[in-house]
Amino acid sequence: MSKHNKTTSELEEEIQARLRIAPEACLRIGNFGFIELEDSWGDEATIVNTARISTTNNRLRNAESFSERDRNLLYQLLRDQHGTPFETVYFRFRFVAPIFVLRQWVKHRISSWNEFSMRYRKPISEAYIPDLAARSVDGYAVLDEQAVQEYEELLQGLFAWYERQYEQACARIDADREAGLIPAKSGGRDPYRGRARELLRNVMPVAAYSDVYWTVNFRSLMNFFRLRRKPDAQYEIRQYADAAYLLFSRRLPLLASTMEQVLAEQGN
């Protein structure tokens, strides 16, 4: 899209670094989207050990040490909705996604959510641009190329307006501070520039990208997958859910295959 501001350039550099460092844990999505499974705590053995707390002190070390009986127990626990053992395994994702996707995602409330704030930094100067697959229904493009071009130009204009107005506001603040009309900056966050950012962010569209850390236990993550990977889920959040599932399945393949079996039997 438009020329990147410092915030966006730094984010793009970080994304490229993460793709080099941890390629199996990262994926790009759309024109600027990104997701990484940064970390996880616990595994299939954690779930089975938790479930057996009242019956044995023998602890499994990992999924590789599972017997057929252990695998069957994992399946039965998930099938019969014994939820709490599955709350002992956690995942931390980081993702860069359009704000309209975040508004759907944040409804999955049993999780921890930390989002990039435009109160403290300039917005990410990239917005989601739908490709042909995103704007097609049964092979029919609901928006033509001309509409997409105008869509992109409109978004570029908004980002350019923000940069221009923020630059002018900062110049006026600096001039008035030098003239003694407003107090000198005393360290930390400048309340005058901060208020300008707070007001100017109001023009940012829901197509603009934001940046989120999402920490979630497996019980909640399974519900996210069940709802957001369905064929009738909105295309964009389905892309992120499918990507999150792929990264999760690489990390814990036995738990992923067990979940797939249970969901298939339930008709989900």
Residue 56 lies in a domain: no
pLDDT at 233 over 70: yes
- The pTM score is 0.93
Residue 125 lies in a domain: yes
Q: 250 catalytic, yes or no?
A: no
pLDDT at 243 over 60: yes
Residue 128 lies in a domain: yes
Residue 213 lies in a domain: yes
Pick from 148, 150, 165: nearest CA to 200: 165
* 57-116 residue pLDDT tens: 788 999 999 999 999 999 999 999 999 999 999 999 999 999 999 999 999 878 999 999
CATH of the domain at 37: 3.30.1360.170
Query: What is the DSSP code string of 237-256?
Result: HHHHHHHHHHHHHHH-HHHH
Catalytic residue among 135, 197, 228, 229: 228
- In which band, very low, low, confident or very high, does the pLDDT at 256 lie, cut at 50, 70 and 90? very high
Residue 130 lies in a domain: yes
Number of domains the chain is built from: 1
Residue 63 lies in a domain: no
Residue 24 lies in a domain: yes
What pLDDT sits at residue 50? 94
Kind and range of the H or E run holding 34: strand 33-41
* Domain limits for position 126: 6-42+89-266
Tokens in use for 77? 């626990």
Q: Which amino acid is at 53?
A: I
* 24-65 residue pLDDT tens: 999 999 999 999 999 999 999 999 999 999 888 788 999 999
Residue 66 lies in a domain: no
